[in-house]
A and B are shown apart, each in its own frame.
Chain A
Amino acid sequence: MTKSDTRILAPQPGLPAPTASWHDRKGLVQIGLLALLLLAPLAAHFLGHVYYVNLASRVTLVAMAAVGLNLAIGYGGMVSFGHAAYFGLGGYVAGISAYHAFDLTPVIGWPVAIPGSDSMLAIWLVAIVVCGLLALAIGAVSLRTTGVYFIMITLAFAQMIYYFANSWPTYGGEDGLPIYLRNTLPIVDTNDALTFFLICFGGLTLSLALTSRIMKSRFGAALTMARLNDTRLATAGIAPYPIRLVAFVISAMITGLAGALYADLNGFVSPTMLSWHMSGELMVIVILGGVGRLYGPLAGAILYVMMETLLGGLTEYWKLFLGLVLLLVVLFAKYGVMGWLAGRERHE
């Protein structure tokens, strides 16, 4: 499945786009999506519907995880079928840290005692570092392969971690690990649904800004080139492998941070967060929104959670319809919701 070389002559997603009328439309849609995501839970909060505030937090975190994946798939052309590994690992960092903080036992007793912590800041930092290291190891092996091998190897590594978490008894194994008290931040009360939503919203906005920033940099241009034609990048004197690896690691870090927040939202982390269905769902969200579109994951997440809630209320077989919609999108609407809302990117 090599991509045709003629495409590289056209502007690509992530490269500074020329201004045109469709660009304004895109900008409006992007602002609209963010405003919708921010205002809906605010309204729900003042009407006293905590449930919908939490639902908005869920949309936000799923979107953030997909923003991470989009960096790998959409911008880097690395079809990772194992991003649940980072999502779940981030969740486990939050869960394990809270577990030890609750029990007053050290996470590691030797050679240096590392205590558990219920501070979100510490948890976020650890989640980002741990997920980055894991992605470095997995990426270093997986990126030696391409195409279908890459898809299967990322899947297999994620399954390996899934089965490990499933069988390792210390942190609940298959039963998962409840977080009895939500982790804390200084000054603000994280138990308040709206406050927690705003934290998640901040995370999403930052990851969107980071992705945008990366793709506008020289590094982003190199990554795009690596996706489209790595021989050409190599002739320019840049090795594609480290470029891809760094992008893969950043992608995993964003997804991992989303996972840490997701565990706190649910008060629970289990191997399900690591399962290949989760990887698949994250991919589905990226595709529904539009691959390689900055706001695609957000549009996809809103659509996905809406379908889950609305269709799920109508029929318990809602995934049947999700499957049909997904199939139609893949077969006939390649550019996803963002393609439909904001117009195609010019090169398309």
Chain B
Amino acid sequence: MKKLASVGLGLLMTAATATAQAEEVKIGMITTLSGGGSHLGVDVRDGFMLAIERSGRDDIEVLVQDDANRPDLARSLSNEFMQRDEVDILTGIIFSNLAMAVVPAAVRQGTFYISPNAGPSDLAGRMCHENYFNAAWQNNNLHEAMGAYMKTEGFERPLLLAPNYPAGTDALAGFKHRYEGEVVDEIYTQMGQTDYAAEIAQIRASDADSLFFFLPGGMGISFMKQWENSGVDIPLFGAAFSFDEIIIKAVGSAAVGTMNTSQWAYDLDNEANHAFVEAFREAYGRTPTLYASQGFDTANLILSALDKAHPDDQDAFREALREADFDSVRGEFRFGPNHHPIQDIYVREVVEGDDGQPTNRLVGIAVEDIQDIYHTQCEM
């Protein structure tokens, strides 16, 4: 209704009506709430809103819009948020290609962008910006960790599979960076592809001893379902994006036994995390995914900075964000010089849970204090 009223009156309104309380903070969230990647956006949003509610602050307005995983739509939503709603902070984008469409222009127009998910290499490196912060990871992080893990586990002929978009190429670059050895082959799929018969046939025909794949959201579910029936029998590895709680529940028993890397796990032992997992389950009746944890952390990062400064005071607010003065549910958390996290990455195994459904279980640490390889290219 608000939008309707503002459209109808927009041309007639005088400046007088636009004077809201100067203290109020507006946050615009653009995230993916429909299509095959929707559960990622839903969890980021739910985690984020949970933190805002728990803070008890009523001077924060969060506007949420669905980008339908379309770069052009995300771009026009960001224009609406900045020009019409005049938000102070933007956040929420799931997919790296959408982030690349929105973030560079938004931060240059003086809006803060805090990423709860996408961390494309360009934004960590040559296109980094003082108003851009990533509260999740740089795209390569989790894949690098898996590369290191598979190397120590002694796999010699991994085959790599990822969609052909910025996060996909980042994923394979990250994997190879720490795996260091030769890989059998790299297969790139279309973004949003639903049939993987051709790729599975290629994997079958190769002499790979393991498969490392990155297929977030609905792509992962389709792939795993088809993989299960293909009769190809080599172990599967990936980052947590291909094995979040929702994917493995949709896939069922086929997921059991696979390994994945994550910066967070719901059974990670720290106080902030216990409180988060409990509150999330109570509020939404399901186990949070890593996306929910990222949404929660993003909101808490913003809240911690708002305690110190209002975004209108850009320098003070930026400085407050840099301090990252909040209890992350992933344990220790700090920013590198390019505003991307330096953090531990864990290994999880998919096991059969108490209710018979597959679930992730923390196994150990893959890499400690990982920092993205692009921070040296960042001149801020």
Residues of chain A touching chain B, judged by Cβ–Cβ distance below 8 Å, are 40, 43-44, 47-52, 54, 166-167, 169, 172-176, 178, 180, 266-268, 270, 272-273, 309-310, 312-314, 316
Contact = CB atoms under 8 A, between A and B. Distances in A.
Contacts of B308: none
Contact of A178 (B1, B2, B104): B104
B165 A52 contact: no
B23 to A, nearest CB: 22
B191 interface: yes
A167 B190 contact: yes
A175 B71 contact: yes
A48 B72 contact: no
A344 to B, nearest CB: 31
A321 to B, nearest CB: 14
A176 B72 contact: yes
B104 A180 contact: yes
Contacts of B190: 166-167, 174
Contact of B10 (A49, A167, A312): A49
Contact of A52 (B10, B14, B15): B10
B71 A169 contact: no
A268 B72 contact: yes
A107 B166 CA distance: 22
A47 B13 contact: yes
Contacts of B105: 178, 180, 267
Contacts of B96: 175
Interface stretch (B73-81, B146-154, B244-252, B344-352): B73-81
Given A47-B11, A50-B83, A268-B71, A178 B100 contact: yes
A273 B4 CA distance: 26
B75 A267 contact: yes
B296 to A, nearest CB: 25
Given A174-B97, A178-B105, A313-B4, A270 B71 contact: yes
Contacts of A166: 190
Contacts of A272: 70-73
A268 B84 contact: no
Interface of B: 1-4, 7-8, 10-11, 13-15, 66, 70-73, 75-76, 79-80, 83-84, 96-97, 100-101, 104-105, 108, 164-166, 190-191
A313 B83 contact: no
A47 B15 contact: yes
B64 to A, nearest CB: 11
The 3 closest A-B pairs by CB, nearest first: A313-B3, A175-B97, A51-B84
B14 A310 contact: no
A266 B76 contact: yes
B196 to A, nearest CB: 17
Nearest to B192: A174
B2 to A, nearest CB: 8
B195 to A, nearest CB: 16
A44 B4 CA distance: 16
B239 to A, nearest CB: 20
Contact of B71 (A48, A176, A309): A176
Given A174-B190, A175-B97, A314-B1, 14 more contacts: A44-B11, A51-B80, A54-B83, A174-B191, A175-B96, A175-B165, A178-B105, A266-B76, A267-B105, A268-B71, A270-B101, A272-B72, A310-B8, A314-B3
A175 B100 contact: yes
A346 to B, nearest CB: 36
A31 B101 CA distance: 38
B7 A268 contact: no
B15 A48 contact: yes
A267 B82 CA distance: 14
Contacts of A173: 164-165
A176 B101 contact: yes
Nearest to A306: B7
A40 B11 CA distance: 7
B93 to A, nearest CB: 12
A172 B14 CA distance: 42
Contacts of B84: 49, 51
B320 to A, nearest CB: 28
Nearest to A272: B72
A273 B71 CA distance: 11
A146 to B, nearest CB: 34
B13 A180 contact: no
A48 B16 CA distance: 12
A288 B287 CA distance: 48
A72 to B, nearest CB: 24
A51 B105 CA distance: 16
Given A176-B97, A314-B1, A266 B104 contact: no
A52 to B, nearest CB: 5
Nearest to B14: A47
A54 B79 contact: yes
